[in-house]
Structure 1
Amino acid sequence: MRISKAESRALRERARRERISQGSLVRRALRAYGITPEADTKSGYDVIKHLIGRNRGGPKDLSTNPRHLDDYGG
């Protein structure tokens, strides 16, 4: 992980003020953003499986037929 010198100084100072290691401070920040080891174990399928099959009744060739893109982005 690369951070600027200013970010490194700010991290070092904040960790010193809170009397914790820089690593502990970074881990705390990652958890605050919802980034946890458990979250990283989900596959792409696990993330979207609740959406699979939700669009019943749509065109069967939606992903392959160019005519479905005629009005897209225009």
Structure 2
Amino acid sequence: MNTLTIKIPPSLDSALAQASARAQVTKSELVRRAVAAYLAAGAERSAGPPSALELAGDLVGCFGGGPDDLASNPRHLDDFGRP
């Protein structure tokens, strides 16, 4: 097994010690699990903030009855902005 040395602030070390005691594992084991979980979740995370589609994806396509060419036909904007 390889060794990795990191520097952490005292408050994080204290929290890590408490969490490892609760889980009854070493601090190294707890950090290994945390890194593995982070990397596994990384495959599902996008590089930046979530897109509007990701946030409201379950709502896309839930409404019907509108024109099929709403996004592509400029005729639908003829009266846009007029009272």
The normalised TM-score by structure 1 is 0.45
Larger Rg, first or second structure (1 or 2): 2
Structure number with greater CO (CA < 8 Å, separation at least 6) is 1
The normalised TM-score by structure 2 is 0.41
